Amino acid sequence: MGKKNKDRLEIQELFMGKAGWHRTFIGTIERYTQEDGSPYVFGKIPVNDFVIIATAKNDVELGEKLDDLVILILDYNLHEMKSKRVMIAGTDIHLN
């Protein structure tokens, strides 16, 4: 008999984007290292019908960018603005 396939546990680091404490959204971040050895973080958070994505040098900068994007979507209708759109892997991406 072959080896049993065990369920794999995948651990994700959660991160929050917010527009005030009453409008918060939870997503994930991933940590990477660039070729020159400097670290960066990648964050992805679903906000209503959209997904915001940002990269930064550290958690603090990433948090500020994601908070700003949440506010732009909720309060300023960021995705209603004219922007360049491309299809990537079957997903409609707004480049704003």
Q: Which residues of the chain fall short of a pLDDT of 50? A: 1
Confidence at residue 46, expressed as pLDDT on a 0 to 100 scale:
94
Confidence at residue 86, expressed as pLDDT on a 0 to 100 scale:
76
Confidence at residue 42, expressed as pLDDT on a 0 to 100 scale:
94
Contact 94, 73 (CB under 8 A): no
Confidence at residue 20, expressed as pLDDT on a 0 to 100 scale:
87
In 14-39, which positions are buried (b, 16+ CB within 10 angstroms) versus exposed (e)?
Answer: ebebbbeeeeebebebeeeeeeeeee
Give the residue extent of every domain in the chain.
13-95
Confidence at residue 7, expressed as pLDDT on a 0 to 100 scale:
74
Confidence at residue 21, expressed as pLDDT on a 0 to 100 scale:
86
